[in-house]
Amino acid sequence: MKRSIAVFIVLLGFPLAMSAIDNLFYVSFASRVIIYAIAATSLNLVLGYGGMISFGHAAFVGAGAYAASICIAEGVASAWLGWPAAIAASALAAWLIGAVSLRTRGVYFIMITLAFAQMAFYLVNSMKAYGGDEGLPLPQRAELGLGLDLGNEVVFYYVVLFFLALSLYGLHRVMQSRFGRVVIAIRENEARAEAIGLPVYRYQLACFVIAGAVAGLAGALLASHGKYVNPNVLHWVQSGTLMIMVILGGVGQLWGGAIGAFVLLGLEHVISDYPLPWLAAVAPNYPQHANLGVGLVMLAVVLFAPHGIAGLLSRRRGA
């Protein structure tokens, strides 16, 4: 808890420091990382805490991103309408996809969630009215009112940071609740959970829908952030990226999704924007192969840190 607060104090100070050196690029970049942190945290609820290996989480980010973008494109710029619409759309998508997928187990579950997400990907590709495969540029970000201009990078940063804090606190609370205990119990021993009287399917579906709703909010924020949405937010590579974030950061660890988002996006950025002269001398095109670097880090984490980076950090504290 103390650590979480310390991290948030640093995060609160970050834009001030960046403004002081007049570097708003990094404020905007940090907003993007935080939005991904929210999305990865929501996946961690399903994947880490719930033990459901969903390979289609990008569908819910995408549902939210498109719902929010369509609102703005249709002239409804208020975040108070657009974001709840995004949450509702992604929750509905999660309910539909979950209701079918959760009747399967193991590899079938992985494949069916992937298949649904790809269907959603092709669906938005065919929505010609909203840009089809070229995507939909937005005239502006959502409007929050309250005297807060989301067009301002610093304001936007604080708003997404607020939602990350809310997501993490919510996840922490939910996991202490009756519902959270049941979700973990199902992950640990599904047959026994049912045999002590727990309707496993309903709890898993509820968990899936909650995670989908939060992912939808992240999608809405993502669309506003870039003032643009395109079908790639639903592409299976995005689902895979979110999974990598969770695995890197720590499966079933409160901060796992956030740490994974920070490390993965940070790594990608560093590899592609800060060329190492000595490495470039050997392999001139290496920044285009940033994925290789990410893959190596991933391999190291999986081999040496089964609870991800969050697990490493908390073990060191224990020692």
**Residues interacting with other proteins, by CB under 8 A?**
173-174, 176-182, 185, 188-189, 191-200, 203, 206
Which residue type is seen at 301?
A: V
What one-character DSSP code corresponds to residue 137? E
Q: Which residues are CB-contacts of 211 (< 8 A; sequence separation ≥ 6)?
A: 42, 43, 45, 46, 50, 57, 60, 94
Beta carbons within 10 angstroms of residue 6's beta carbon: 10
Cβ proximity to other proteins, 105 vs 289, nearer residue: 105
In angstroms, what CA-CA distances link 229 with 8, 64, 65, 83, 90?
29, 10, 7, 15, 15
For residues 117 and 234, is the Cβ–Cβ distance under 8 A?
A: yes
Nearest to 43 by CA among 171, 228, 222, 177: 171
Q: How far is the CB of 166 from other proteins (least distance, A)?
A: 13
Q: How far is the CB of 36 from other proteins (least distance, A)?
A: 24
Cβ proximity to other proteins, 213 vs 244, nearer residue: 213
Q: Which residues are CB-contacts of 315 (< 8 A; sequence separation ≥ 6)?
A: 307
Cβ proximity to other proteins, 173 vs 315, nearer residue: 173
Cβ proximity to other proteins, 135 vs 252, nearer residue: 252
Cβ proximity to other proteins, 27 vs 210, nearer residue: 210
Backbone dihedral region of 145: left (phi > 0), alpha (psi from -120 to 50 degrees) or beta? left
Q: How far is the CB of 3 from other proteins (least distance, A)?
A: 20
Q: How far is the CB of 75 from other proteins (least distance, A)?
A: 35
Cβ proximity to other proteins, 90 vs 241, nearer residue: 90
Cβ proximity to other proteins, 4 vs 28, nearer residue: 4
Q: How far is the CB of 259 from other proteins (least distance, A)?
A: 22
Cβ proximity to other proteins, 180 vs 287, nearer residue: 180
Distance from C-alpha of 211 to C-alpha of 101, rounded to nearest angstrom: 15
Cβ proximity to other proteins, 72 vs 215, nearer residue: 215
Distance from C-alpha of 268 to C-alpha of 293, rounded to nearest angstrom: 8
Please tell me whether residue 228 adopts helix, strand or coil conformation.
Answer: strand
Which residue type is seen at 174?
A: V
Q: How far is the CB of 146 from other proteins (least distance, A)?
A: 26
The phi, psi pair for 145, rounded to 5°, reads 70, -155
Q: How far is the CB of 206 from other proteins (least distance, A)?
A: 7
| HSE of 59, CA atoms in CB hemisphere, 13 A | 27
Q: How far is the CB of 200 from other proteins (least distance, A)?
A: 7
Q: How far is the CB of 176 from other proteins (least distance, A)?
A: 4
In angstroms, the first-to-last Cα distance of the chain is: 17
Q: What tokens does 311 get?
A: 């697990």
